[in-house]
Amino acid sequence: MNCDISKEYIMKHFDGDLKEAESVQFKEHLDKCSECNAEFNCMKAIFTTLDTKEEIEPPADFEAKVMDKVAIIEKERREKNAKTIVWLYNGAMALSIVLLLVFVADLKQVSLFSAFEKLGEYFSSFSSATEAVIGVVEDIFVLLGSALLAVIEVSFSIFKSYYYVFIVLLAMLFVIQRLLHYVGTHSGEETE
pLDDT at 115: 66
Query: Which parts of the chain register pLDDT below 50?
Result: 191-192
In a domain, 151, yes or no: yes
Q: Are residues 70 and 45 in the same domain?
A: no
Q: Is residue 170 part of a domain?
A: no
Instruction: Quote the DSSP letter at residue 55.
Output: P
Alpha helices in the chain (DSSP H): 3-15, 20-32, 34-51, 62-107, 112-125, 129-191
Q: What is the pLDDT of residue 76?
A: 92
Number of domain units in the chain? 2
Quick check: is 181 in a domain?
no
How confident is the model at residue 132, as a pLDDT? Answer: 64
**Residue-wise pLDDT tens digits, 150-192:** 888 877 777 777 777 778 888 888 888 888 888 877 765 554 4
- Contact predicate 18/12, CB 8 Å: yes
Q: How far apart are CA 151 and CA 27, in angstroms?
A: 100
- Which structural domain, as residue segments, surrounds residue 150? 63-162
Assigned domain for 176 exists: no
Tell me the C-alpha distance between 25 and 3, whole Å.
12
Residue 183 lies in a domain: no
What is the distance between the alpha carbons of residues 55 and 35, in angstroms, rounded to a whole number? Answer: 33
